[in-house]
Amino acid sequence: MNILEKIENHGKMQGDNIVMEYGAEKLTYSELWEKSDRLAGWISERLGDSKKPVLVYGHKHPMMLVCFLACVKSGRAYCPVDISMPEQRIGDIAEAVDNDIILGTEENTHNLKGYVSLDEIDRISKEHTPVDYSKRVSSEDTYYIIFTSGSTGKPKGVEISLENLNNFTDWSVSLVEDSQEGCHDEMRDINSRKSQLTFMNQAPFSFDLSVMDLYTCLAMGGRLYSIDKKTQQDPKLLMDELRKGEINVWVSTPSFAEMTMANKEFNGEEFDSINTFLFCGEKLGADTGKRLQELFPNSGIYNTYGPTESTVAVTGIKLDDSLFGKGDLPIGRPKPGTEIYIFTEDGSIAKEGEKGEIAIAGNTVSKGYFKNREKTSEVFIEDNISSFHDSKDSDETKKAMMYKTGDEGYISNGLVYCTGRIDLQIKLHGYRIELGDIESNLKFIEGISQACVVPRRVDGKIRNLVAFVVETSDANAPRKTYDSSTAFQKRKEIRDKLKCQLPDYMVPKKIVFVDSLPMTINGKVDRKKLEAMV
Amino acid sequence: MEKKILEMIAELCGDEIVLEDGDINLLENDLIDSLDYTDLLVQFEEEFGIVMSPSELTREQMDTPNKIVEQVMARVA
């Protein structure tokens, strides 16, 4: 598909339908199309020949979408930056993007230069002459740039082309369609009452998980229902908002779902509109998947996997009973147009079931990091093996690339499994330990809902392991507190159970009970923060 | 001083139980390992100026918080 043509078509055919709703703010498909045409016209005029990407700063305001589309209609990539990002990082990104203008839908609290405020955007998008359609980004052009944290501190901008996005959306739409097909009859009745599907938007637009809800929604002519940061942090507000949203397609990180599942009213009876769950962004625990399946027996739950560098996600699987009780959940099968390879440490291709680094080839692999050749060549390698590398229908001058993810995994019976980050592998007293392995085993213990294991370092050297665990609880019940002897007994119990599953050197020395795990702004567990706590 | 010693042990073990139960067996309950012992002896040396060589003590002489306190007190006196 061509996503822009799809949206244009929805603008014509169902122009009065809501495309995005956030609080009292609503935007229709025709408004989205027209306003972005006008704003694009202004951007073209203002920036002339410069095709530098445009930073779009904000949170969940529907005008964000207008800004995104306006950029690409003017032939420029957009770079979304969320208000929750730290100032230093925003500064780094603005510097890298280096454009005269920044589009903003929230207050300019960081005094960014060239800031075009919401009022101005509103005015321009009503009054300015629309853009010429010939200016639009073409399939090979960069469509968006999303910055991810680099291990060295400076963020890296991943360039995703229109073609990448089109290929991803083809697949993500097929997942939602598959789920609607598979819906229980009862559920289909509910759906047929509405012509439009409602997608939940949890992730900030600066996190590419949001591409999964936003563009799948736009492709399908759906309504995007955004839940802001403040609401996400308040269980009561969140439940109210989720009810009000009448969401059909839930898209979030597993951590966000786990947090929501702590509310006992979150189930398929109370929330009968939800028929699809799409997870991405971090590991979906088998226990979480199973529990959710029990709570929502009529919904399709999909586990997907992929790095930002290959457009959101490249593998997926619908959960069913056959997958439970066998340890970790698979991340699924590669989507059409993607091949997954596992490389062992010596660079050879792993045998069936053998662990190694996951590498991705195919039509959603990014062209690389924005203005960062060095980092690009470290992880994007020439693809000489996949069935795409000699494909005749693609542009022959362009070499096919493969992305080395840094994730560890294996393939078994056609299903891909991700076992963790290669860099989450640590060495303790000479033993190689996968922290994710310990976490999975912790979560299998009854009474534990979340776990994160971090190394404790003394003088930079890993000394021992500390596990942070969250106990399964009812969000409405008072918080559990233990006197030290009960706490000791509980820790001992957990350690004893772990010892039945893991070698002694993998059993964390210290176990800390916490009410919740700290989250990064993207809704993943904040390991750095935990490490600083030990 | 006894309190200080116990706090140092608790910090090392990562469990407050040692403050409550002075007779808990640190080894059997995995509260302490050989590296921790070495650490502890170094800390005692820094804090109280007493030299305790790992080899001069058997594990049995040091396997509960109370026994450790006793050993340290004997050397300070």
pLDDT above 70 for A194:
no
Query: Which token pair is A461?
Result: 């050297």
Rounded to an integer, the average pLDDT of A251-267 is: 89
More confident residue, A390 or B4: B4
* Chain A residues near residue B35 by CB distance under 8 angstroms: 463
Per residue in A277-298, pLDDT (tens digit) is 999 988 898 989 999 999 999 9
Give DSSP secondary structure letters for A343-391. E-TTSSBPPTT--EEEEEEETT---EETT-HHHHHHHEEE--SSTTTT-
Q: Which of A31-35, A429-433, A506-510 has the highest mean pLDDT?
A: A31-35
Distance from C-alpha of A231 to C-alpha of A23, rounded to nearest angstrom: 11
- Nearest CB neighbour to B14, from listed A485, A492, A509: A509
Per residue in A144-160, pLDDT (tens digit) is 999 987 655 678 999 99
pLDDT above 80 for A515:
yes
Which one, of A491, A518, A495, A520, lies nearest residue A507 by Cα?
Answer: A495
Per residue in A39-60, pLDDT (tens digit) is 999 999 999 999 999 999 999 9
pLDDT above 80 for A404:
yes
Interface of B with A (CB under 8 A): 14-17, 19-21, 29-30, 33, 35
Distance from C-alpha of A432 to C-alpha of A29, rounded to nearest angstrom: 53
pLDDT above 70 for A192:
no
Q: HEC states along A243-297?
A: HHHCCCEEEECHHHHHHHHCCCCCCCCCCCCCCEEEECCCCCCHHHHHHHHHHCC
* Chain B residues near residue A487 by CB distance under 8 angstroms: 15-17
pLDDT above 60 for A393:
no
Rounded to an integer, the average pLDDT of A191-205 is: 83
pLDDT of residue A390: 64
pLDDT of residue A183: 65
pLDDT above 90 for A325:
no
**Between chains, do A509 and B29 touch, taking CB under 8 Å as contact?**
no
Angle formed at CA A22 by CA A16 and CA A26, multiple of 5 degrees? 25
pLDDT of residue A184: 56
Query: Which token pair is A85?
Result: 């990002």
- Backbone φ, ψ for residue A91 (5° rounding): -60, -45
pLDDT of residue A193: 47
Distance from C-alpha of A482 to C-alpha of A81, rounded to nearest angstrom: 42
Under 8 Å between Cβ of A399 and A386: no
How far A444 CA lies from chain B's nearest CA (Å)? 22
pLDDT of residue A150: 61
More confident residue, B34 or A32: A32
**Average pLDDT along chain A:** 91
More confident residue, A334 or A392: A334
pLDDT above 90 for A30:
yes
pLDDT above 50 for A258:
yes
Query: pLDDT band for position A337 (50/70/90)?
Result: very high
**Between chains, do A484 and B33 touch, taking CB under 8 Å as contact?**
no
Query: Which token pair is B32?
Result: 């302490």
Q: Which of A509, A510, A511 to mutate to test the interface with B (most CBs of B within 10 A)?
A: A509
Query: pLDDT band for position A185 (50/70/90)?
Result: low
pLDDT above 80 for A92:
yes
Per residue in B1-19, pLDDT (tens digit) is 888 999 999 888 877 888 8
**Between chains, do A509 and B16 touch, taking CB under 8 Å as contact?**
no
* Chain A residues near residue B32 by CB distance under 8 angstroms: none
Using only C-alpha atoms, chain A has a radius of gyration, in whole angstroms, of: 23
Closest-CA residue of chain A to B36: A463
Give the CA dihedral A156, A162, A166, A172, nearest 10 degrees: 30
Where does residue A311 rank: exposed (0-12), middle (13-18), buried (19+ CB within 10 A)?
buried
Which one, of A136, A54, A125, A66, lies nearest residue A96 by Cα?
Answer: A54
For chain A, positions 469-528, list CB contacts with chain B under 8 A: 484-485, 487-488, 491-492, 495, 507, 509-510
Q: Which of A175-179, A399-403, A517-521, B13-17 has the highest mean pLDDT?
A: A175-179
- Nearest CB neighbour to A488, from listed B15, B33, B35: B15
Q: List Cα–Cα distances, A59 to A131, A308, B41, in angstroms.
A: 25, 19, 54
pLDDT of residue A428: 82
Query: pLDDT band for position A210 (50/70/90)?
Result: very high
Give DSSP secondary structure letters for B17-37. HHHH-TT--TTTTTS--HHHH
Per residue in B19-54, pLDDT (tens digit) is 888 999 988 887 887 778 888 888 898 889 888 877
ipTM: 0.73
List the domain boundaries for chain B: 2-76
Q: What is the DSSP code (8-state) at residue A450?
A: E
Per residue in A481-514, pLDDT (tens digit) is 777 778 888 888 999 999 888 888 889 988 999 9
Question: All domains of chain A, ordered by start, with CATH?
Answer: 3-137 (3.40.50.980), 164-334 (3.40.50.12780), 338-421 (2.30.38.10), 429-533 (3.30.300.30)
More confident residue, A199 or A191: A199
Query: Which token pair is A474?
Result: 């009812």
More confident residue, A439 or A187: A439
pLDDT above 80 for A10:
yes
Distance from C-alpha of A389 to C-alpha of A247, rounded to nearest angstrom: 41
pLDDT above 80 for A432:
no
CATH of domain B2-76: 1.10.1200.10
pLDDT above 90 for A255:
no
- Quick one: what percent of chain A has pLDDT higher than 70? 94
Distance from C-alpha of A321 to C-alpha of A299, rounded to nearest angstrom: 13
